[in-house]
């Protein structure tokens, strides 16, 4: 099987809102049953966003990071999972955090993907908790500047 061809770029929410909403709606609302009111919390305009595009330019993934280093809303269309898209988006956000002078980033991982984040240098902190009806755990990664 050939390696997936995709690209990652930073995006402004107001310029790419339709693409970002489309991916998150497909993954969070339609696939996972999360209330759109929880997903679209009003914080998007203040966040750094990344978008993943496939070889034909279609958007296949998105993620965001707030100014304090909180990474979230990572969503990859099902057909593009396990191909490095999530890893590339995460590394792009870590690079953005480093440019901003942050020493660490953190996220709330859904329980079923903790291993994915651990493989990328995140460590579990605290006890599991429920968020949007899904078990999560907070994870932290030291990045230095």
Domains in the chain, CATH or no CATH each: 6-142 (3.40.630.30)
Nearest-5° Cα angle at 92, 110 to 30: 40
46-82 pLDDT tens trace:
999 999 999 999 999 999 999 999 999 999 999 999 9
Contact between 27 and 52 under an 8 Å Cβ cutoff? The reply is no
pLDDT in tens, 102-124: 999 999 998 989 999 999 999 99
| DSSP letter assigned to residue 5 | P
Q: What is the pTM of this model?
A: 0.91
Residue 66 phi, psi dihedral angles, 5° rounding: -85, 170
pLDDT for the residue numbered 2: 45
């Amino acid at each position: 099987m050939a390696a997936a061809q995709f690209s990652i770029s930073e995006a402004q929410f107001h310029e790419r809102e339709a693409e970002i909403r489309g991916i998150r709606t497909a993954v969070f609302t339609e696939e996972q049953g999360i209330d759109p009111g929880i997903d679209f919390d009003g914080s998007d305009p203040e966040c750094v966003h990344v978008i993943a595009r496939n070889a034909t330019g279609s958007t296949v993934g998105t993620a965001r990071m707030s100014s304090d280093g909180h990474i979230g809303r990572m969503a990859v269309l099902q057909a593009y999972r396990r191909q490095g898209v999530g890893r590339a988006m995460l590394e792009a956000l870590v690079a953005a955090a480093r440019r901003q002078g942050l020493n660490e980033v953190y996220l709330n991982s859904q329980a079923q993907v903790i291993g994915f984040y651990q493989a990328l240098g995140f460590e579990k902190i605290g006890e599991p908790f429920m968020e949007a009806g899904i078990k999560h755990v907070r994870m932290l990664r030291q990045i230095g500047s």
